[in-house]
Amino acid sequence: MYEGARADLGPLSRFLGAETRLGFGAWAVGGAGWGAAGDQRERATAIRHAVERGVTFFDTAPSYGAGESERLLGRALKADRARVAIATKVGPRDDPRASLEGSLRRLDSDYVDLVQLHEPLERWEWRLEKLHTLQVEDKALALGLCNATHLQLERALTIAPLATYQAAYNLFDRDVEERELPLCRDRDLAFLAYRPLAAGLLTGKYTAPPAPPPPQFAEGDHRRQIYWFKGREFERRRCVIERLLPIAQREGLSLIGLALGWLRARPDVSIVLAGAKNAAQVDETFTPDSRPLTPDVGRAIDAIVADVFRPARPTPQLPEAARTWGERERFIAERLDGKTRYEAIAAEWTDRGDKPMIAAQVKVFVDQLVEQGLAEG
């Protein structure tokens, strides 16, 4: 039985300090999925400028720009390869060896510092075993898992010596606080947080006063499908951001600095992965004052989020209406009490080992109940 590789003793130790660090998430520099691709030279400059800013950890995947992210990193980091860590991934349905060896060719490197299974879908245990074989062959110095439930993560630790776990985490999206972060702490796994700025929402770009409508993203931009850029959820998040701005101003920080500082102050977070497509965005994100927030400021932010995201209460009509619903819907309806956080409801369902649930699914469903007069909040 593998107990997981200690982050402070393994091959990533020189890139993981006692304090949370900022790493470079290289999806956007791949040139696809984030609006206009921009000039390739500008994207390469962003990578090199991040190194100049002191960034030493770069996270990519073959799917980012159909390999373009890896090719760009390989060229831009070639002169600095020995002093930076490159993490890549293997797709949930890809052959591990073919995928990783393809990544190494695009990165122009003999190894990656970390290879991660991007998502545990069918036959994921087999893929993790094969990744461990590739680690033994020194094609990867460490192994990680992304986007798994706590049950899958516990199972993975019996299969291979994991060093890291990566999932979405920001001041809005906190599912990992329920199960995965405590598990990482207990099993000495480094936690890598992606989407720290909620896919750009926490830059303030889409919420500047006066109250704007939800943004309209171009075809091919993955944010077209993200629920928090729509409807009631967008309005809730806009309200939070409006109340965060005076705190950022008081602390002498940008909204980006406040959001990243909140994450850097959270216990058990090892690396915060932020993206950039040009040097100006690097300057906005990887700033010298991107420091952890004080506990008082962190509590003030948490209080605002809790106030805006108060759980809904059932109306008297809900129990009768729910009698004919599916099991998942009834499960949510039975736990609406105006107090229980949606993350806790989702985690309790996921504990059962069935198809997992996340808070976003609960929010979308509860918003529908509110519209039908079956819930209030």
CB 13 within 8 A of CB 85: no
Q: What is the DSSP letter of 372?
A: T
> Other C-beta atoms within 10 Å of 252: how many?
8
36: three-class secondary structure by DSSP:
coil
101: three-class secondary structure by DSSP:
helix
CB 76 within 8 A of CB 108: no
Does residue 64 have an active-site annotation? yes
C-alpha span between 318 and 373 (Å, rounded): 9
3-class SS letters over 29-72: HHCCCCCCCCCHHHHHHHHHHHHHCCCCEEECCCCCCCCHHHHH
CB 166 within 8 A of CB 245: no
Catalytic residue among 2, 64, 111, 206: 64
What DSSP element (H or E) covers 191? strand 190-194
Output the CA–CA distances (angstroms, integers) from residue 352 to 83, 235, 327, in the order listed: 44, 32, 12
Angle between helices 327-334 and 342-350 (to 10 degrees): 140
Active-site amino acid positions: 64
